[in-house]
Amino acid sequence: MKFEDLTPARALEWLGESNGSLRLLDQTLLPCETTSLECRSAEQVVEAIRSLRVRGAPAIGVAAAYGVVVGVREAASLERSKFDERLHVVIQQLAASRPTAVNLFWALDRQRQVAERMPTAAPQDVVKALLTEARAIETEDRSMCAAIGRHGAELLTTGDAVLTHCNAGALATAGDGTALAVIYAAVADGKQIRVFADETRPLLQGARLTAWELSQRGVPVTLICDSMAATVMRQRKVQAVIVGADRIAANGDTANKIGTYSVACLAKTHGIPFYVAAPSSTFDLSLSNGDQIPIEERSAAEITHGFGRQTAPEGIDVYNPAFDVTPAESITAIITERGVIRPVSEAAIREMLARRSGFPA
């Protein structure tokens, strides 16, 4: 079967019209089970985001946009002021699901603006407009992934092996991913690319999701423990690192899955280019640097009782930040849907984000 004919994994899809539901592939069950769940309330969407059934910055944003629709439609028969109160509560609930990925707040802000732009409209019409906006956010995300892939593929040469961390693929977006979109686009161009996937402790997004997704698409992938990345680089087994991002500050400092910063340090030591691939919805220009990015801390049980088995002494003290920040100076380039930012600086970021995207904003 040709690479183009292999069906990509789909993290989420909207079924029906305003009274429809958000279907999510339950990523906590991968790679052993491909089971989906249908969310019909904002509470279900919040739970799915919090427990990583849907995860990855762009996918969280798209899910939250649909979460607003399922959260407010029951209030469509109320008078407009009561409907607006419900909308406010739902947006607050969704915003409290996870703190680091800015795409969540970006998508919720777009939904808030939809309602604000039609202050005298009937609630039913606002619900329809919120669904239209959620669909637009999803479609734009798919286009952004494709454009990131096109720009990034030019950085890879046939025969290259690429190391990636966590999952920044189709499972993390509405399209082909960000970091993995670059791989898919290069392979579609006829280049021979192989991937080394860090397993990504503690929740194993690399092992469970990236290795699964790449195998499904027929891309050669080798799974390694996070602690093996230094050796793989020293042995010159990889020619580039490409990762995704959860939030990029105005100066280019980038928050991504815990362990990304270690990979960036290793890449610098070994003279290997370290690329971040992210859509413009992942930039937060209100933050001057990465110290201001809120970092989610998750439960101790993810480390002491990973996947149901106790692997540490009862009651041991645990620190479990889910993300870290890679300083801009350790990033060779940022691949966006508008082009490649290189070298990474605040001026270059602002100039790139001011460019037209080439598809409706």
- Assess 178 for contact with ligand MRU (CB under 6 A): yes
Taking 3-state DSSP, the helix, strand and coil percentages for the chain, each rounded to the nearest 5, stand at: 45, 15, 40
CB 57 within 8 A of CB 80: no
Q: Exactly one of 127, 166, 197, 221 binds ligand MRU (CB under 6 A); which one?
A: 166
CB of 276 to ligand MRU, least distance (A): 9
- Assess 244 for contact with ligand MRU (CB under 6 A): yes
DSSP 9: P
CB of 129 to ligand MRU, least distance (A): 27
- The encoded tokens of residue 340 equal 């490649």
Q: Which helix (H) or strand (E) holds 170?
A: none
Point out the catalytic residue in the list 176, 246, 253, 324.
246
The question of whether 26 is a catalytic residue gets the answer no
Among the listed ranges 86-94, 167-175, 284-292, 351-359, the one in contact with ligand MRU (CB under 6 A) is: 167-175
Q: Give whichever of 39 and 182 is closer to ligand MRU, judged by the CB atom.
A: 182
Q: Exactly one of 199, 213, 246, 324 binds ligand MRU (CB under 6 A); which one?
A: 246
Q: Give whichever of 256 and 332 is closer to ligand MRU, judged by the CB atom.
A: 256
Q: Give whichever of 50 and 237 is closer to ligand MRU, judged by the CB atom.
A: 50
Q: Which residue number places its CB atom closest to ligand MRU?
A: 244
Q: Which residue blocks in the chain are alpha helix, DSSP H? A: 42-50, 57-72, 80-95, 102-117, 123-153, 179-188, 205, 211-216, 229-234, 260-269, 301-304, 346-353
> How many residues of this chain interact with ligand MRU, rule: CB under 6 A?
19
Q: Exactly one of 42, 94, 245, 266 binds ligand MRU (CB under 6 A); which one?
A: 245
- Assess 257 for contact with ligand MRU (CB under 6 A): yes
Distance CA(289)–CA(252), nearest Å, equals: 7
Among the listed ranges 75-83, 85-93, 166-174, 186-194, the one in contact with ligand MRU (CB under 6 A) is: 166-174
* Axis crossing angle, helix 42-50 with helix 80-95, rounded to the nearest 10: 10
State the number of CA atoms in the 13 A half-sphere of 131 facing the CB: 18
CB 262 within 8 A of CB 200: no
Distance CA(2)–CA(206), nearest Å, equals: 25
Site string for ligand MRU, 295-324 (x = CB under 6 A): ---------------------------x--
- Assess 58 for contact with ligand MRU (CB under 6 A): yes
Residues 6 or more apart in contact with residue 128 via CB below 8 angstroms: 18
Binding to ligand MRU (CB under 6 A) within 26-55 occurs at 52, 55
Q: Exactly one of 65, 115, 172, 186 binds ligand MRU (CB under 6 A); which one?
A: 172
Distance CA(107)–CA(300), nearest Å, equals: 30
- Assess 57 for contact with ligand MRU (CB under 6 A): yes
- Assess 182 for contact with ligand MRU (CB under 6 A): no
Q: Give whichever of 73 and 257 is closer to ligand MRU, judged by the CB atom.
A: 257
DSSP 169: B
16: left (phi over 0), alpha (psi -120 to 50) or beta: left
Distance CA(320)–CA(295), nearest Å, equals: 10
CB of 275 to ligand MRU, least distance (A): 13
Q: Known catalytic residues?
A: 246
Residues that bind ligand MRU (CB under 6 A): 52, 55-58, 101, 166, 168, 172-173, 177-178, 205, 244-246, 256-257, 322
